[in-house]
């Protein structure tokens, strides 16, 4: 296992007990959160219109969908609008008006947009990831996305992350999605560290809640949706607008 130096940890703005960093993907490492919001809106708006309701909003994305697995997001958001489609099964086609069919419809839209537009990463996050590696810390990505491997490859980040817990692995291992801590706990296990020795970096309220519920050693909130107060209230130890802000800062 790489040895993390206290000097390196201070440069990263992390406590001296941290041996590993678990990164969320969409909205933390890559700019695909915009892609996901657009795909969710494309999916939900016709359903809402059919029920005589207004459009899906960015605030609703943050509150009900961001950071959650697809089917959980479908269920949570539509329930907030009083809409309760049948559950269906993961094999449902994207045309099916079931929770699973709607989630699959959204994933199909994400695939089209990824193929057309590619993936951009956040320069500050990539610089921070390189600094984490240089300091000798272990690294993993923990994402609700079923497209995690493809997104990492397209962004050129795969070789910087030692483990990946994504929506495919979570479904395979029957891991509850965020805000439950199970996927982050799986990431810590994959790196061979205790949760108290790992930092969680998240832009979603559900992800911050998961980091706190798992008793992780440090939780960093990345404010991409003007929700700094909410990230702090839900368990972030520190909130930044860009991970580059943590570089050269002393850990509190």
26 is catalytic: yes
Same fold, 6-31+120-246 and 33-117: no
pTM for the model stands at 0.79
Residue-wise pLDDT for 204-227, tens only, equals 999 999 999 999 999 999 999 899
The catalytically annotated residue of 26, 166, 203, 223 is: 26
CATH of domain 6-31+120-246: 3.40.50.1000
Candidates 1.10.8, 3.90.930, 1.10.150, 1.10.1060; correct CATH number of 33-117? 1.10.150
Q: What is the mean pLDDT of the chain?
A: 92
At residue 35, the pLDDT reads 85
Distance CA 158, CA 225 (A): 26
At residue 111, the pLDDT reads 85
- pLDDT of 236 higher than 70: yes
The catalytically annotated residue of 24, 92, 182, 223 is: 24
Instruction: Collect contacts of 154-162 with beta carbons under 8 A, ≥24 apart.
Output: 154/114, 154/118, 154/119, 155/29, 155/30, 155/119, 155/120, 155/121, 156/121, 157/29, 157/30, 157/121, 157/126, 157/129, 160/129, 160/130, 160/133, 161/23, 161/129, 162/138, 162/190, 162/191
At residue 110, the pLDDT reads 86
Domain extents in the chain: 6-31+120-246, 33-117
Distance CA 118, CA 186 (A): 28
Banded model confidence at residue 181, pLDDT cuts 50, 70, 90:
very high
- pLDDT of 4 higher than 70: no
159 is catalytic: no
């Amino acid at each position: 296992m790489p040895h993390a130096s206290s000097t390196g940890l201070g440069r990263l703005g992390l406590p001296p007990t941290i041996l590993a960093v678990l990164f969320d993907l969409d909205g933390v490492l890559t700019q695909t959160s915009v892609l996901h919001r657009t795909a969710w809106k494309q999916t939900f708006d016709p359903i809402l219109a059919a029920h005589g309701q207004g459009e899906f909003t960015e605030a609703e994305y943050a509150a009900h969908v961001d950071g959650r697995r697809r089917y959980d997001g479908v269920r949570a958001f539509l329930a907030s609008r009083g809409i309760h489609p049948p559950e269906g099964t993961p094999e449902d086609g994207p045309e099916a008006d079931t929770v699973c069919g709607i989630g699959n419809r959204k994933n199909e839209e994400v695939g089209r947009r990824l193929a057309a537009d590619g993936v951009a990463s956040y320069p500050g996050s990539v610089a921070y990831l390189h600094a984490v590696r240089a300091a000798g810390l272990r690294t993993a990505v923990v994402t609700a996305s079923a497209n995690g491997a493809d997104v990492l490859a397209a962004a050129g980040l795969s070789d910087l992350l030692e483990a990946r817990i994504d929506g495919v692995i979570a479904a395979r291992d029957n891991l509850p999605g965020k805000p439950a801590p199970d996927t982050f706990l799986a990431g810590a296990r994959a790196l061979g560290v205790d949760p108290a020795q790992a930092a969680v970096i998240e832009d979603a309220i559900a992800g911050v809640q998961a980091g706190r519920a798992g008793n992780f050693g440090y939780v960093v909130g990345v404010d991409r949706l003007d929700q700094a107060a909410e990230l702090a209230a839900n368990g972030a130890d520190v909130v930044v607008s860009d991970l580059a802000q943590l570089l050269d800062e002393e850990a509190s």
